[in-house]
Amino acid sequence: MTVTPDRPGWYPDPLKPPTQERRWADGEWTDDVREASVTVAQASPATSPETSSSAATSERTSAVRLLKTRKERRDEPRSTEAAVAGTGTAPRETGPDLATDPDTYADADADARTEVETAGEPEARPARRTTVVLVLAMVVLVAVALLEAAYLWGPLEDEPTVSSDRPVLLSRAAERSATDTAAKAAVAFSQRSYETYDEQVDDAAAMMTDDFEKQFRQTTDDARQRFIDAETQVTAEVAGQGVMTASEEQVEALIFLNQFTLRKGEESAFTPFRLKVTLIDTEQGWLVSDVEAT
């Protein structure tokens, strides 16, 4: 281990202790050297070669560090002045020699590893952030799909209502079936013969609701005798039909009829007219609940 002198003078050179001396001044080793006036005694026989070698290496390393530091301090002003004078730019700072300074090398190696680890973090963070965003997007899409399904087919489904903007809510097949029923009913209660009057009234009444059947029978009962006495025969045929409004509970259909009336002793009369037939859905199917001439 190198002993630092406490006052100026000539001391064994840290680089070559047995053969050379170096002057110590102003708290540091100078470049002045000379031959040693007294040879330093050899290491004690009790000291092992490995210990001597380790001590010598440590002393040389310490001495090199001290001399290098002193030389860098002394050369730094000249290097700075030369750089400024030659290029007009500030000199580049130089770090310690890693090859001759093991401590500095270890520190630099640790700093390099830290920089590498730190440099990798910004790349990992965006990757994690992207994954989180994708997961959140998938969750939102699934929630929207479930909500839409609930509105279309589930408990949140809107009950359709007939309106001027949407008068028909049935499928084309269901709409046609209801309209055909309305046309058949219109023919049934618009035509009859004095010969089969009661049977035709019963057939027409079977296509009506109970309330409307009562109204219909009251009308036909009042006209029955006059109809039979005049030997009247009335036939009707459908000229056209269409749906006005339609839902699962009720359908309003417009039926165009051509009616022919023949009485005893009179010529046949032709009368075109149209009926608005209202049907409602019941356990027996579509039944007429109202008829209105238009």
Query: Is residue 122 in a domain?
Result: no
Lowest mean pLDDT, pick from 61-65, 101-105, 227-231: 101-105
Task: Give the tens place of pLDDT for each residue, 189-229.
Answer: 999 999 999 999 999 999 999 999 999 999 999 999 999 99
CATH number of the domain that residue 202 is part of: 3.10.450.230
Closest by CA to 94, choosing from 104, 109, 106, 102, is 104
- Asked if 187 and 77 sit in the same domain, the reply is no
Residue 124: what pLDDT?
57
- Asked if 281 and 176 sit in the same domain, the reply is yes
Asked whether the beta carbons of 29 and 22 are under 8 A apart, the reply is yes
On the 0-12 / 13-18 / 19+ scale of CB atoms within 10 A, 20 is middle
What is the DSSP pairing of strand 285-293 with strand 9-12?
unpaired
Final residue of a domain: which of 34, 63, 87?
87
Query: Is residue 230 in a domain?
Result: yes
Give residue 17's domain range: 9-87
Query: Is residue 14 in a domain?
Result: yes
Mean pLDDT, rounded, of the chain: 76
Query: Is residue 192 in a domain?
Result: yes
Number of domains in the chain: 2
Query: Is residue 130 in a domain?
Result: no
d(CA 204, CA 212): 11
d(CA 72, CA 155): 85
- For residue 52, what are the CA distances in angstroms to 3, 154, 155? 16, 91, 92
Query: Is residue 119 in a domain?
Result: no
Tokens for 98, please give them: 């890693």
Final residue of a domain: which of 28, 62, 87?
87
Overall pTM > 0.85: no
More confident residue, 102 or 206: 206
Residue 71: what pLDDT?
61
Query: Is residue 202 in a domain?
Result: yes
Query: Is residue 217 in a domain?
Result: yes
Final residue of a domain: which of 37, 54, 87?
87
